[in-house]
Amino acid sequence: MHDQLMRFSRLLPVFVASSIVLAGCADEPPPTPAPAIISFDDGWGQVFVANIDGSGVRQISPTVGDDSTDSRYGNFAALSPDGTQLAYTRGGRNIELVDLDSGESRTIREGGHQPVFSPDGSHIAFSTGSGISIMNTDGSDVRVVAEEEEGGSDATFSPDGSRVVFRVGGYIVETPVTGGETTVVLRDQFWNADPAYSPDGSTLVFSSNRGGNNGSEIYSMPAGGGEITPLTDTYAVHPKFTPDGSRILYNRATTLSGDLVVDISTAERTELASMNPDGSDQKRLTPRSITAEIPSSGGGQ
């Protein structure tokens, strides 16, 4: 009996210590998510990120002047869902990946453009000029998911990550991420582009020239099809929901003095704006000192 008590007394501190460690782990708060941020390019070869309200703009890619043939020319920026990485098209034909914490940048794909992250951040879809492909975020395991005679662009993922939605000509289609039959989402007599889903998957927003003006406006429709609702009545393109679904980021065209335009031929600059999902509370985000195109957002989740 004495020996049994001695063995128990030796084990007791181990049990107590283990309990303390487990209790300590249980009490640790979950990691703080990265703040929500936005990205865009300035139309002149530089890529930027900013706070979700448009403040704190900082340049990410090298300065290249106005030479679009420069191999460092950057556009089509896309943020990872957690807001820690940024992918963009470099030199018109390569995909660059930037770690926003360290600033480290590397080419992960030669021969591709318009990258976009999957909802879980594990894959990137991109356009090849003849269709849409998907790869791991490190550039490995590249696979073609859609080959189209008219090419394919403006790709985005469905919120559950099971499908890729993109533009072919002036209509919007989707295909499974595993490849397979392409399904038409929206095809009519109008030019439709820039598809993007709300985070909950209930709504599809897109740009279209169905307003009868010399340009495009932004519209929404139920994801499963239905009534199409105009959200803007001036020239606007590239809608994207913020991570929490509370706002839509988009580009709109203006004069040099900042007046909104309906006819694209009268536009002299582009700016980044945001609005509520129903089209209300439209306001400029980026400062007047910089042009801004093709928004993306990440983080805050």
Domain ranges of the chain: 38-298
Per-residue burial over 95-115, b if 16 or more Cβ lie within 10 Å, else e, is bbbbebeeeeeeebbeebbbb
Give me the pLDDT at residue 162, please: 97
- For 212, left (φ over 0), alpha (ψ -120 to 50), or beta? left
Distance of alpha carbon 119 from alpha carbon 124, whole angstroms? 10
pLDDT of residue 242: 97
Which of these, 43, 101, 97, 37, lies nearest to 68 by C-alpha position? Answer: 43
In this prediction, residue 129 carries a pLDDT of 86
pTM reported for the whole predicted model: 0.88
pLDDT of amino acid 18: 39
Return the pLDDT at 112. Answer: 94
Please, how many CA atoms are within 13 Å of residue 158, restricted to the half-sphere of its CB? 16
Please identify every stretch of the chain with a pLDDT value under 70, giving residue numbers as ranges: 1-31, 33
Specify the pLDDT at position 2: 42
pLDDT at 14: 39
CATH dotted code for 38-298:
2.120.10.30
